[in-house]
Amino acid sequence: QQPVQSPQAVILREGEDAVINCSSSKALYSVHWYRQKHGEAPIFLMILLKGGEQKGHDKISASFNEKKQQSSLYLTASQLSYSGTYFCGTEMGGNQFYFGTGTSLTVIP
């Protein structure tokens, strides 16, 4: 039930781009993305709904491919503040919602 995220970890230099993938074995109603900094609570980034458009704010955006049951999070021109662990959450209806195991992103100067 738990979605699979890839990669598990990535290290970037400031200004570089990254893509984090989230894949489910079941049909999805929506995909949610959160970021968690070390020792802090997860913070909501965005929700992508079935049939909805690609979303984004600032230089972080995401897409949702319903047919492939996949979502991707795009971070462009990464900043030091982007460091943290990114989690996708997948909603499958029937009160089923599962977080992935997370992708650790480290941005270095």
Binding site for other proteins (CB under 8 A): 1-2, 29-30, 32, 34, 40-44, 47, 87, 89, 91, 93, 95, 97-102
Q: Are strands 84-93 and 96-99 parallel, antiparallel or unpaired?
A: antiparallel
Residue among 16 and 99 whose Cβ is closer to other proteins: 99
102 Cβ neighbours under 8 A, 6+ residues apart: 5, 8, 36, 85, 86, 87
Residue among 15 and 93 whose Cβ is closer to other proteins: 93
Q: Is the Cβ–Cβ distance between 105 and 12 less than 8 Å?
A: yes
CB of 1 to other proteins, least distance (A): 8
CB of 47 to other proteins, least distance (A): 7
